[in-house]
Amino acid sequence: MDFLKRHVVVTGGTGALGRAVVEGLLRDGAEVHVPYLLPAEAERFAFRADSRVQLAGPIDLASEAEVGNFYTGLPGLWASIHLAGGFAMGGIAETDRAALVRQLEMNFVSCYLCCRAAVAAMREGGGGRIVNVAARPALEPRQGAGMSAYAASKAAVAALTQALGEELAKDGILVNAVAPSILDTPANRAAMPKAKYELWPKVDEVAAAILFLASPENRVTRGAVVPVYGRS
């Protein structure tokens, strides 16, 4: 992919999938902007010393003002990749309004606000790419049993992606999403020690799909929510 000197935002860039995406962007020549919420995220980030990486924070991605200020200060933006989010297990009896709102803010509101700010920046530059992250339960809602708040928040991300894919095509902004199943990460292995890890999609594989959708080589795909399930 040719990202040479293109400016790309990666929210959630300090996480397992984010690090794989940032690594790929740097390999392909991008200038990468990574917002973070907790200082510890920035301190342990593997690419913090790279001159082509700009860490910015603390930034609350559910705050319209903070997101707006971050995007307004960027140079010509080519792509915005939205990986930030959070997961919470729990049946509906255990998930009260506050827990529901937390899931919506972490997964949907943050994505919506970053899309909105990115669109304003990209319209000035004549186009760009947006890639969101939904989840398998967004496409297969029955898999959201026992995690309905999470499933609903990711379904909202999928619906937003499809709506924006149609709305922004005329502006040269192609909007897509990936929908992973359980990613093969150390945290997920620790949480599910008896699972068949070899069936899970690997972070570098999912990152490759994201990088294509965010790249100039993607000239026609928009409004897609791409399943990235591996063999699981």
DSSP for 63-92, written as a single string: -HHHHHHHHHT-SSEEEEEE---------T
Structural domain includes residue 133: yes
Structural domain includes residue 217: yes
Express each pLDDT in 175-230 by its tens digit: 999 999 999 899 999 989 999 999 999 999 999 999 999 999 999 999 999 999 99
Structural domain includes residue 165: yes
Structural domain includes residue 124: yes
Structural domain includes residue 150: yes
> ∠80-82-88 over CA atoms, to 5°?
175
Does residue 157 register a pLDDT over 90?
A: yes
DSSP for 93-109, written as a single string: TT--HHHHHHHIIIIII
Q: What is the mean pLDDT of residues 167-171?
A: 98
Q: Which residue has tokens 């040479």?
A: 4
Express each pLDDT in 86-139 by its tens digit: 999 999 999 999 999 999 999 999 999 999 999 999 999 999 999 999 999 999
- For residue 149, what are the contacts with CB-CB under 8 A and spacing of at least 6? 88, 90, 95, 99, 100, 103, 104
Structural domain includes residue 2: no
Whether the bond between 180 and the residue before it is cis, its omega within 30 degrees of 0, is no
How does residue 1 score in pLDDT terms, banded at 50, 70 and 90?
confident
How does residue 84 score in pLDDT terms, banded at 50, 70 and 90?
very high
Range of the domain at 12: 7-227
Q: What is the mean pLDDT of residues 21-47?
A: 97
pLDDT reported for residue 150: 97
Cβ(124)–Cβ(108) below 8 Å: no
Does residue 78 register a pLDDT over 90?
A: yes
How many independent structural domains does the chain possess?
A: 1
pLDDT reported for residue 37: 97
As beta bridge partners, residue 214 has none
Token code pair at residue 192? 């599910």
Q: Which residue has tokens 């999403």?
A: 177
Percent of the residues in the chain that have a pLDDT greater than 90, as a whole number: 97
Radius of gyration, alpha carbons of the chain: 17
Q: What is the pTM of this model?
A: 0.96
Structural domain includes residue 125: yes
CATH number at residue 66: 3.40.50.720
Averaged pLDDT score across all residues of the chain: 96
Helices (H) and strands (E) in the chain, counts: 9, 7
pLDDT reported for residue 110: 98
Structural domain includes residue 232: no
